[in-house]
Chains A and B, each alone.
Chain A
Amino acid sequence: MTRRSLAILLLAVAALPSPARAAPPDLRELDAIVLDASRSPPERRAALERAIAERRARLPSAKPSERDALALDLAESLILVRPSLDGTDHFAAVGLLEARDFARVQQSVLEAEKLLDGVPDSPRMRVLRAIAGARRIDLALGDGVAASPAPLTGLSSPTREIVMIANARLLLASQPAAAQATLDEVVTTAGVPSAVALTARLLGPLGAAERGDAASLSALQAIAAGTSRNAIAERLLVGDALARAARHLHRAPDEAVAAWSELLRSVAREDAASARAAVIERVQTIVDPASVDASTAAPLVLAAVIRDVAKRDLAGVVAALDRMLRDEEIAGLGALAPLLAFERARLLALAGDYREAAQKFRTLAFERSDDPVASEAIDLAMELLFELSLSPSTTEAQKADAATAMTEAIAKFYDHPKRDRWRVHLGNVELDRGRLAAARTAFAASPSESAREGLALAWLLTALGARGEAEVAASLRESDAAMPAPAATPSARRLLLEGLRARATGDNGTAAARIDAALADPSLLTGDVRVGFRELLSSQRRASAPPALTPGAAAAAERMPTLARDAIVAELETSFARSAEISEATAAVEATSLRTLLPPPPRVLATMTPAQRALVATALLADRRRTEAAAITGPLLAESQDPATMLLHARAVEESQPREAFDLYRAIVQRAEPQSSAWWNGQVGELRLRFATPSAETAELVIARVNRLRQTDPDLGGERTRAALEGLAESAHAELRKATAR
């Protein structure tokens, strides 16, 4: 689809009559949701905000008959319902509003007062005006400006008590006794809501703390102890009051932390996340991360500032977390436990222990699947599992475990927004494991473009591994069907797909070029690099082998030397692992077709085992590249003096340093197990060097030795050594005959 047609389609969709816009939201329905205490607070708050927005929108064009009611409803939503729903009313009443809430309340009061100014006098209007007056007192005290008491006339409970508390707050500093009397009256009023009563009870001690009375803290602690366990907002408020009192008294906010910790310890599971978020936010405002010592900090304090503390004392934080999580019941973590477990796993990942981190994230997500951290934990676990399973050092068993874990997570977290991405990850892991059917299943379940590319890749690999032509054709058809439309700039995987497609159809030249271009892209997945190397080297052998790794392959080898090593070794092994069994001519032909790999880049060579380096040297020798082989065999010989290594080095230096080679061959003949492959090759090498300058004497020596060896084994150690020894003996006989004739 072109951009132009897409734009037209979008315009057309925009022009369609939308039901949402055609029918404005039903205010009665929204109000019902707001008042329905059985609904969740976020749902009620969302409904309220929609109702406020709708009333604001309707107000300018409302009929005069509806306008007053609409204005009163809006004012009530702004200064009474909203503060009540978001819990700011009581916080405002005791002067504990957060700065951002303070600004919002101020804005709401101003808007409400403006609305009330335009409405005729009525009992409802007077109540709302009194509330606005009380809020204005709160705001004035917050700003430190003078305010006059709000009138109580005509007000009934609980509006009356709210205004009384605001008035009492005005007197708290100048006439504490009068203020306390007013607050006591509020507390003792029958039927007053518990939150309003709590506000009144807190204000007295808070005022005392402001005056520097240390006894106020114990009064607040007594209030904290008596607060209902289920009233989260009230307990948060008590904690805030304790923190404020501690600040006035210039003391550490230990009592507040204890109150909030107690809240998190006992909070119901369904409220744990919101309570934890509120508490953490509060602790962050009163604790300086620089002063927190991980070894002595309370779990709540550590949880609130853990990332800052970990930056300067990672070991201390890890030790503290391990200690707390070891027995979370004793540590009294409650709702903090999932957060701390998440942070512990995160620190493991930061420290590079990805496998352990993935395990911890996964365990946390499965055991606390209802906690908000579970979502992020399982996503991190999946990402880590994916990255780990594609790591070159990961074993097949670990990959299998990762695939199982990913499958379980996809099944359990069925509504996770990242599920499609996980499916693609799983498909890629299965591709890397060579389980093409499982990979296809995983990719097919996801509609994303990367999943379709994965599916196309899985089918292409199926085609490359297929035996019958019909199977190849069917797999290619499936791959073509899955292949997404080409983009303007092809992705690395897209280039790989095109290369493999060419490979499957026998176009090795195109295959090599495309795959090499894909390998040059650092964003190519590890598993794709593995496939790319394999198929590139294979297609280059079938086309004409370039004399060195092509640029893309060289860049990929530099990035992932162990992957390159595995691919190169696999290619060499198919030709040279049993080099004793193939003729020199065949080995030379094989070596020529492997020139792309010889010698591998130094970074790749450095990752090879001695046996793998010996294999490279063998291939180089078969290609008669003795100097390059000697550069490998020399260090090998320094590491190990076994006959096979000595033989390799002797062959490598036979032309450049014949004396050293001769001594090595002699040493092999003396040290190697008689009649072993190395021993026979040592005999050949020694005699070859002896006869390098033919003479009657050396001819006699060669003939005598070959005759003796024939007594030992009539087959002279096998086809290759027999041919070499018999060839030498024949030359020696000719030389001897020539010498005798002279």
Chain B
Amino acid sequence: MTPMIDVTFQLLIYFLLGTSFVLGEEIYRVDLPDRTERRERGEGTGEDPIVIRIRSQSAELNDYRVDLEGPLSTLPTDRSLAEGLRASIVSAENPNGLVSRRTPVVIAPSADTRWEHAVDVFDAAVKAGFNRVAFAPTSKDAPR
């Protein structure tokens, strides 16, 4: 009898120590600043963004087409996307640049663009030196 009582107490102690009291899963409302509000408050550069539109040509890694809109509409064709973008940024070494590092870059993939192509363009923009790179809001994200 005694061993049974011991085992029972052992089990009780085990479960007491092993149990964690978690709350039930639920949604918490969080107020996050959106980009529209930010612009209305006058923050940011106020510059028109460089919009990079992407359309996948095939499933190959680098097979996609890029179109630019906004302050930068053309890039040199003999360089990679990242190098072309870097060459357009004004700096002490590059006084003839057409955009600033702080010029917003908005990546706008079409609906059928492959995810890796979009990420590739995002990486190229960040690598070029732009520090305000974002994906274009989808219609679902767009502020109402």
Contact = CB atoms under 8 A, between A and B. Distances in A.
Interface of A: 659, 666, 690, 697, 700-701, 703-704, 707-708, 711, 733, 736-737, 739-740
Nearest to A666: B46
A704 B98 contact: yes
Interface stretch (B53-61, B79-87, B89-97, B118-126): B89-97
Given A697-B102, A736-B92, A704 B46 contact: no
B96 A707 contact: yes
Contacts of B114: none
A79 B99 CA distance: 118
B100 A704 contact: yes
Contacts of A711: 98
B92 A704 contact: no
A659 B46 CA distance: 12
A737 B92 contact: yes
Contacts of A666: 46
B97 A704 contact: yes
A704 B103 contact: yes
17 contacts: A666-B46, A697-B100, A700-B90, A700-B100, A700-B101, A701-B45, A704-B89, A704-B97, A704-B98, A704-B100, A707-B90, A707-B96, A707-B98, A708-B98, A736-B90, A736-B95, A737-B92
| Best-surrounded residue of B91, B92, B101 (most CB of chain A within 10 A) | B92
B42 interface: yes
Given A703-B95, A708-B99, 4 more contacts: A666-B46, A697-B101, A707-B90, A707-B96
A659 B42 contact: yes
B47 interface: yes
A306 B21 CA distance: 109
A701 B97 contact: no
Given A707-B90, A740-B92, A701 B98 contact: no
A701 B100 contact: yes
- What 5 pairs between A and B have smallest CB-CB spacing? A740-B92, A700-B100, A701-B100, A704-B90, A700-B90
A700 B94 CA distance: 10
B137 interface: no
Nearest to B72: A708
B42 A704 contact: no
A703 B47 contact: no
B76 interface: no
A739 B90 CA distance: 13
Contacts of B101: 697, 700
B72 to A, nearest CB: 9
B102 A701 contact: yes
Contacts of A733: 95
A701 B101 CA distance: 8
Contact of A700 (B42, B71, B91): B91
A739 B92 CA distance: 9
Interface in B8-66: 42, 45-47
Nearest to A736: B92
Interface residues of B, number: 18
A701 to B, nearest CB: 4
A403 to B, nearest CB: 61
A704 B91 CA distance: 9
Contacts of B95: 703, 733, 736
A638 to B, nearest CB: 22
Contacts of B102: 697, 700-701
A160 to B, nearest CB: 118
Contacts of B71: 704, 708
Contacts of A704: 71, 89-90, 97-100, 103
A711 to B, nearest CB: 7
A707 B97 contact: yes
B90 A703 contact: yes
A714 to B, nearest CB: 14
B71 to A, nearest CB: 6
A739 B91 CA distance: 10
A559 B125 CA distance: 69
A305 B98 CA distance: 89
A707 B98 CA distance: 6
A731 to B, nearest CB: 13
B11 to A, nearest CB: 66
B64 to A, nearest CB: 26
B39 to A, nearest CB: 11
A697 to B, nearest CB: 6
A302 B92 CA distance: 97
Nearest to A741: B92
A696 to B, nearest CB: 9
A703 B97 CA distance: 8
Contacts of B90: 700, 703-704, 707, 736
A159 to B, nearest CB: 115
B94 to A, nearest CB: 10
A397 B135 CA distance: 68
Interface in B107-141: none
Contacts of B42: 659
A690 B44 CA distance: 12
B14 to A, nearest CB: 61
A666 to B, nearest CB: 6
A740 B97 CA distance: 16
Contacts of B89: 700, 704
B66 to A, nearest CB: 20
Nearest to B88: A704
A26 to B, nearest CB: 108
A272 to B, nearest CB: 85
Nearest to A700: B100
| Best-surrounded residue of A690, A701, A737, A740 (most CB of chain B within 10 A) | A701
Contacts of A690: 46
A703 B98 CA distance: 8
Nearest to B101: A700
Nearest to B42: A659
A63 B91 CA distance: 134
A163 B95 CA distance: 130
| Best-surrounded residue of B42, B89, B90, B95 (most CB of chain A within 10 A) | B90
Nearest to A669: B48
A399 B60 CA distance: 85
Nearest to B96: A707
Nearest to A737: B92
A700 B45 CA distance: 11
Nearest to A738: B92
A711 B42 CA distance: 28
Contacts of A737: 92
Nearest to B71: A708
A659 B92 CA distance: 29
| Best-surrounded residue of B95, B96, B102, B103 (most CB of chain A within 10 A) | B95
Contacts of A659: 42
A666 B47 CA distance: 10
A693 B77 CA distance: 37
Nearest to B97: A704
Contacts of B96: 707
Contacts of B103: 701, 704
Contacts of A700: 89-91, 97, 100-102
Contacts of B46: 666, 690
A97 to B, nearest CB: 98
Contacts of B99: 704, 708
Nearest to B103: A704
A697 B91 CA distance: 10
B25 to A, nearest CB: 44
Nearest to A711: B98
B49 to A, nearest CB: 13
